[in-house]
Amino acid sequence: MLSDDELMRYSRQILMPRFDVAGQESLKAARVLVLGSGGLGCPVALYLGAAGVGQLTLVDDDTVELANLQRQIGFDQDQLGQPKAEALVQRVRRINPLVSVDAMSCRLEGEALARQVEVATLVVDCTDNFNTRFALNRACVAAGVPLVSGAAIRGEGQVSVFDLRVEGSPCYHCLYPEQGNEDLTCSEAGVIAPLVGMIGSLQAMEAIKVISGVGAPLVGRLLILDAWEMQWREMKLARDPECPVCSGAC
């Protein structure tokens, strides 16, 4: 049930016939785990919090640095040196005090990661290294929780949704094998500031679509952006029948 304050705050979403009160109530009832509070995590957390996702858990073990401020719009100069997850929680709460948002200023691994994924409605991957992405994918497959994945570097980005509840859909490991992938970070290759906002906003939109059941999420599809040429490409993705992570999943 939405309060009068919620009906007013979210009125522009509720006005849409496809979304309506039912979509907003689905957001309110959802619990979203966001791994990474950097370039992608900032727009994801800000938009999901503003849109009314009932519970957000933001995870990051890093602190705010001067070089982050070029693109990580959840932070400002006064927050330099603060834990990223805690600083971003403060910003989300200032935007929307009606949602519950918590910080985990640590690196989630092993059983702790599995526990957080198991209680989530949906997980958003805003991390920047393959080891974490693979571990998160395994946890989501094991728990049957949908995963919204994004990546951005230089002037290139990509977004997809991995949801094994959809018959024949792949997991992240079907797309990227664990061997042969090396991390390339923004500190090494660079990144143009608006790109992470574009990709992070798309991740937030995909999360809202999955939670509300409105629209067609990027399940079985990979959206690729070349921002310098402003060209979008879409690739169809299929489940790998020999995938060591999801081949036994229903």
CATH number at residue 64: 3.40.50.720
**Measured between alpha carbons, how far is 121 from 226 in angstroms, rounded to an integer?**
31
- Please check whether residue 243 lies inside any domain of the structure: no
Beta-strand runs (E) in 24-83 = 31-35, 55-59
**Measured between alpha carbons, how far is 5 from 3 in angstroms, rounded to an integer?**
5
- Please check whether residue 248 lies inside any domain of the structure: no
- Please check whether residue 77 lies inside any domain of the structure: yes
Helix (H) or strand (E) segment spanning residue 148:
strand 147-153
Query: How do residues 35-87 score in pLDDT, each as one tens digit?
Result: 999 999 999 999 999 999 999 999 999 999 999 999 999 999 999 999 999 99
**Measured between alpha carbons, how far is 237 from 140 in angstroms, rounded to an integer?**
18
Helices (H), 66-143: 84-95, 110-118, 130-143
Query: How do residues 75-114 score in pLDDT, each as one tens digit?
Result: 999 999 999 999 999 999 999 999 999 999 999 999 999 9
Is the pTM here over 0.75, yes or no?
Answer: yes
- Please check whether residue 46 lies inside any domain of the structure: yes
Counting the structural domains of the chain, the total is 1
- CA distance to 123, 130, 141, 148, 210, per residue, from 238 (Å): 21, 20, 15, 16, 19
**Measured between alpha carbons, how far is 94 from 214 in angstroms, rounded to an integer?**
28
Query: How do residues 131-142 score in pLDDT, each as one tens digit?
Result: 999 999 999 999
